Structure 1
């Protein structure tokens, strides 16, 4: 996508996040500086620009931008509440995979859609197993959210699925370890995992020839 499209997408995603701010705070049902900081607007803009860089067609741009907006809202809500609300995750699945289906139809590349669906299933099952083994480490919100990110990464390839998924755990472990070492947290402290899932997916998706090389 051109520089103009990248900038316009970033602006559109940020504006949408700004408009959804009051609704996001109602969904969160808590008072937190994260929810009033405007972080969701900046994050949506940044992720929106990434969506435009990755998209090769208009249906892909729609799919990635919708996911970018949802990720921005979910990451900030998770930082504030340690939850990933179904009211955002559920519709994101529907819109995201509907747009990917349209992209596959336009490009005639149904293999990518099949791989996206398979990636969603594999990552979802993997997260479910981890949550079952260690309920204190992952919540059901993380499990549900993992499927849409797995589908996003699967659209690009299995290497991206592996890298993006592992990156989330590595980033989370590094941050948690730093907080423990600096005594800003202990082993009983809750850590939001959603933001690191988003960051990991971003790293995995950007590992596409022509983007990071």
Structure 2
């Protein structure tokens, strides 16, 4: 399935509108009126994610799954920036969307191998994040561990190269952001940083450039 320019635009608009409608809910989950939530950052983030979902999807089930994940990711990014938390109320439905959607896609296309790889990738990334969270709880929280399963399942469905690059890119983005904030004196070495946005950016990088950067894993 190839989505044309109109389909990309419509998906972007639909995701942006969905995020706009869900913003009051995100504000209630955060329990704060942070500037991140007042500025309605979720709308453009979801719109961009929706456009990317339309470009990336190769079937209608994939399009629905990727678009819904884009909306969920936009909400999580903003809430994490506001209160350093990834609410279960957003993460849990993303697991349902991912599982049901990818299973439906596998049923229609026969991509059972892709589904198995997605499940294995989700489990592997959760184990990695859990080990890191236990080793350094000040750097990673349980919310990050829970979200890693969604990220792993999404990237694993696309391929091993996407998973490897996306997983590594999250930590690279985090390191760059921390360094920039330290250099600008906007943070100290003891400051807490939201890792959810880094995970989302890493997933985007993995999905977009995995096979190009890491062809050996493709």
Q: What TM bracket, shorter-length normalisation?
A: over 0.9
1-side partners of 2:48 and 2:139: how far apart? Answer: 28
Instruction: Describe the superposition over 1:179-201 as per-residue Cα deviations: whole angstroms up to 9, x where unpaired.
Output: 11221110121100100100000
Instruction: Describe the superposition over 1:46-98 as per-residue Cα deviations: whole angstroms up to 9, x where unpaired.
Output: 00000000000000001101110000000000000000000110111011210
Alignment RMSD, CA only? 1.3
2-side partners of 1:56 and 1:209: how far apart? Answer: 16
> Which residue of structure 1 lines up, in the alignment, with residue 204 of structure 2?
202
Gaps of 5+ in 1: none
CA contact (8 A) 1:171 1:200 kept: yes
> Which residue of structure 2 lines up, in the alignment, with residue 7 of structure 1?
9
CA contact (8 A) 2:162 2:206 kept: yes
Q: How many aligned positions are there?
A: 211
SS in structure 2 at match of 1:20: helix
Residues 85-96 of structure 1: pairs in structure 2 closer than 5 A: 85-96=87-98
> Which residue of structure 2 lines up, in the alignment, with residue 66 of structure 1?
68
Matched, 1:44 2:46: yes
CA contact (8 A) 1:60 1:99 kept: yes
> Which residue of structure 1 lines up, in the alignment, with residue 177 of structure 2?
175
> Which residue of structure 2 lines up, in the alignment, with residue 104 of structure 1?
106
Gaps of 5+ in 2: none
CA contact (8 A) 2:174 2:195 kept: yes
2-side partners of 1:41 and 1:152: how far apart? Answer: 22
Instruction: Describe the superposition over 1:105-149 as per-residue Cα deviations: whole angstroms up to 9, x where unpaired.
Output: 110110000000011000010000000000000000000001001
CA contact (8 A) 1:121 1:147 kept: yes
> Which residue of structure 1 lines up, in the alignment, with residue 190 of structure 2?
188
2-side partners of 1:185 and 1:9: how far apart? Answer: 37
Deviating above 3 A after TM superposition, structure 1's stretches of 4 or more consecutive aligned residues are: none
**TM-score normalised to the size of structure 1?**
0.97
2-side partners of 1:107 and 1:48: how far apart? Answer: 22
